Structure 1
Amino acid sequence: MLKIVDIKAAKNSEGDEFYGLIIQSGPMAIKSKKTGRLYFTNKKAFVSTTFDEQTCASMIGQEIEGSIRKVETDPYEITIEETGEVIELNHRYEYFDPALEMEEQVVEETTVI
């Protein structure tokens, strides 16, 4: 189960503004690569919407089905706002809904000749 925790304005490739939801997983235990000790974290992802700002804001706090997956990408740099440190990443987190994947599989299976 995921929770909608915030909204964010973004722009598409034509420069038009739209709003998206920031979704967050529950706490999960991770083992540190440096120390070997466990710590808790959560995963967040941005999901685009067709909703206006007011509708998105009204959804904060709601829970939705699904999970957040780590997806490999081409390397890119980001700046950590709190420290100003620039780091390179080669992944992003995105929303995954198993019900939609199941629906796609059913459509593919029924169209096979």
Structure 2
Amino acid sequence: MVSIVDYKAFQKENGEKFYSLVVQGGVEAVKSKESGRTYLTAKTTNLACTFNEITCKSLIGSQLPGQIRKVEVEPYDYTDRATGEIVEMTHRYEYLSDEDAIINDNVIKPEEVY
């Protein structure tokens, strides 16, 4: 399950406003590469929607079946807002419904077939 924790407003090039929901997965224990200590975190991603702002606000706190997974992508630059540091990223987080996760886990990719 994922929870809707917020929403964000965006503006298209033509000036039209649209929204996305911010969804967050469950709590995960992760070991720090630097200190070796364990800390808790939760994966978060934006989920496109066709809702207006009132509907987005009303959905905060709702849950959806599914999960957030790390997906490998072409490298891109990411700027850390807190430090201003630019880091090259090769992944992003994506929401997968339960059905999509089952298919993703059980279908053999064409490049893996000999």
Report the TM range for the smaller structure's normalisation. Answer: 0.7 to 0.9
% of aligned pairs identical? Answer: 46
Alpha-carbon distance, 1:99 to partner: 2.6
Q: Does 1:50 align with 2:45?
A: no
Query: Does structure 1 retain, via aligned residues, the 8 Å contact 2:18–2:50?
Result: yes
Per-residue deviation, residues 15-35 of structure 1 (Å, max 9, x unmatched): 643211000112100122233
Q: Which residue of 1 aligns with 2:17?
A: 17
- Ranges in structure 2 where 5+ consecutive residues have no aligned partner: 104-114
SS in 1 for 2:81: coil
Alpha-carbon distance, 1:41 to partner: 0.8
SS in 2 for 1:51: coil
Q: Does 1:92 align with 2:72?
A: no
SS in 2 for 1:5: strand
- Ranges in structure 1 where 5+ consecutive residues have no aligned partner: 104-113
SS in 2 for 1:26: coil
Stretch deviating more after TM superposition (37-46 or 26-35): 26-35
Distance 1:50 1:100 in 2: 20
Distance 1:36 1:16 in 2: 46
Distance 2:91 2:4 in 1: 21
Q: How many residues align?
A: 103
Distance 2:40 2:102 in 1: 31
Task: With the length of structure 1 as denominator, give the TM-score of the two structures.
Answer: 0.79
Distance 2:72 2:14 in 1: 26
Change (3 A) 1:14 1:97: farther
